[in-house]
Structure 1
């Protein structure tokens, strides 16, 4: 599949892991997008940039980084620093699969009270997410 930023200065190809969409409610995603970001997991190592002169990487935590176009500001991906996990902005794809499934919300304990999705989704707290990426069971 192919995707790009708003201005077209950063383009990529990618293989989706599945068609499950996740929403992140963490404070960084909300500040970055003025809402939630909706993402799709990609196959490890499959994100390849075709045009990347305006690609920038932001070191957003001890274990994660965010990619964006520095010409138009479009958020493109989040990945672990070791690149063992990566997801992309679901709306950066040029064509979205017809069978996308909104299945999970993360950092649900950071979600403001003034909005809620109607869909029934799996919900993970910040502790759940941190444990997941650290290989620890969150209980």
Structure 2
């Protein structure tokens, strides 16, 4: 699949692991997007940049980093620093699959009370997410 930032200066190809969309309610994602970020997991090693002159990577934790276009600011991916796990902004895909489904919300204990999704999803707390990724280190 092909994807890109808003301005088109950062473009990539990727293979999706499945059609499951995840929502993150952490404070960084909410601040970065003025809402939540919706992502889809990628097949390990399949994220390849065709245009990356404006690609920047931000170290957001001891174990994770975020990629974005520094020309337009589009958030593109989150991945572990060892690249064993990566997800992409589902809306950065040029043509999203039709069978996407919202299946999980993470950092659910960080979610403000003023919004909620009606979909039934798996929910993980901050401690559960941190344990999942920090145990790999």
TM range (shorter): over 0.9
Residue 52 of structure 2 is aligned to residue 39 of structure 1? no
Contact 2:65/2:78 (CA < 8 Å) preserved in 1?
A: yes
| Aligned counterpart, 2:11 | 11
Within a 5 Å distance, the mapping from 1:53-132 to structure 2 comes to: 53-132=53-132
Whether the aligned pair in 1 keeps the contact of 2:108 and 2:124 (CA below 8 Å) is: yes
- What RMSD in Å do the two structures reach over aligned CA positions? 0.8
Unaligned runs of 5+ in 2: none
Q: CA deviation at 1:134?
A: 2.7
Distance 1:76 1:28 in 2: 14
Q: How many residues end up aligned between the 2 structures?
A: 136
Q: Structure 1 stretches of 5 or more lacking a match? A: none
Q: Distance in 1 between matches of 2:105 and 2:135?
A: 19
- What TM-score do the two structures reach when normalised by structure 2? 0.98
